[in-house]
Structure 1
Amino acid sequence: MSTQSNNSEFFQKLISNRQSVRAYKPDAVEKEKIDRILEAGRISPSACNAQPWKFIVVDEPELKNNIADATSNRVIGINHFTKQAPVHIVVVLEPANFNSNFGSIMKDKNLPLIDIGIAAAHLCLQATAEGLGTCILGWFNERTVKKLLNIPRRKRVILIITLGYAATDELREKKRKTIEEVVSKNKY
């Protein structure tokens, strides 16, 4: 079997195995794995090579629990699992370069936010390759997170990614639209 075929099969399996993990083992995540995950985010593509991100690794237990508190909501019962994750990666939007900002205005697209999404996907896929689970969170108290991490007021926290060893290796059935629902050819 060719290397290209092996790579394709590996990548398809990686994508299929990546899922949002909402139950974690208490085991610490090895620094080497975290470093490779961060490198995957760092080398992610971005519009005009803007790289509009900063990744803050939060693994100090008390601080991590305070960040977890900022992600959960008792009233509507979401994100209570976040305290279980031994690591949180906080994704901060950094200023994009002139070309990216100009393109965003001219094409009415928020290119830096698209770039953040691409980087988050790379982080999560590398984590899956490392045998780790992740969950991308958009629901959190941004003001609290910024205060806890000394993030300047003018900065935006876009995502928080929980990271750790999944409590179970079981893969859930993915509920996705059919290919016909999401793909067309040559026209809408």
Structure 2
Amino acid sequence: MELYEAIEKRRTIRKFKAPATKEQIMRIIVAGTKAPSGANQQRWEFILVEDPALIEKISERKYVLNRGNKPRGEAAESPEKEKGAQLQKESFANASHVAVYFKEGGVGDAWMCLENMSLAAVAEGLGTRIAMFGMGADRDINQILKVPAGYELAAVISIGVPAMEPAPRNLRPEGGWLHRNRF
């Protein structure tokens, strides 16, 4: 697949019908490691999360985070927030999951790595969803995955066979975002 075709086809997939194969996951992770990194330090680490109990804990924490950090049983801020949180939780189903970590100073490197992984997944005929965990949820994920001190969570990337063909994106007019010399 041509690079520009992969870029054009890349979408966030929130519903998967099957996970990636182990071979696909390894190729996708290796593609991630080909991303540039500051001073070639390659400060990324990956955790392939396969244990259903761990996936459930991670998806539940994402659910709580998207409800405004309100645990199950407490009322969500709005029906829309509850619906969005439930959709986030469900998007962990039927996919492979890789937690991408970085050492101090490597956040930009980690995000270039994640985009390489996303484009490699498209080339494999797969889709991805990148889930971020802020507001303290990242510390909870670190505990769940027993991450040593000194590493920060960039995101958890879900990879799998899309359940449906994603709709085309509605993009801003080409060139409407380009400024010359000054804003």
- Give the TM-score, by structure 1 length: 0.78
Q: Which has the higher contact order (CA 8 A, sep 6+)?
A: 2
Q: 1:143 aligns with which of 139, 145, 164?
A: 139
Partner of 1:177: 172
Residue 124, structure 1, aligned to residue 118, structure 2: yes
Distance in 1 (alpha carbons) for counterparts of 2:141 and 2:172: 34
Instruction: Structure 2 unaligned segments of length 5 or more: list them.
Output: 68-75
Aligned residue pairs: how many?
163
Q: 1:15 aligns with which of 7, 16, 21?
A: 7
Q: Identity of aligned pairs, percent?
A: 27
Distance in 1 (alpha carbons) for counterparts of 2:167 and 2:93: 19
Moved segments of 4+, more than 4 Å: none
Distance in 2 (alpha carbons) for counterparts of 1:29 and 1:60: 15
- Give the TM-score, by structure 2 length: 0.80
1:135-165, Cα deviation, whole Å (9 max, x unpaired): 1111362122111110124421121111111
Greater share of strand: 2
Partner of 1:164: 160
1:9-30, Cα deviation, whole Å (9 max, x unpaired): x2121111110000111x3421
Classify 1:28/1:160 alpha carbon distance in 2 versus 1 (closer, same or farther; 3 Å).
Answer: closer
Distance in 1 (alpha carbons) for counterparts of 2:167 and 2:129: 14
**146-155 vs 66-75, greater mean Cα deviation:** 66-75
Distance in 2 (alpha carbons) for counterparts of 1:91 and 1:164: 16
Coordinate RMSD, CA, aligned: 1.9
Classify 1:49/1:161 alpha carbon distance in 2 versus 1 (closer, same or farther; 3 Å).
Answer: same
Instruction: Structure 1 unaligned segments of length 5 or more: list them.
Output: 1-6, 97-111
Partner of 1:107: none
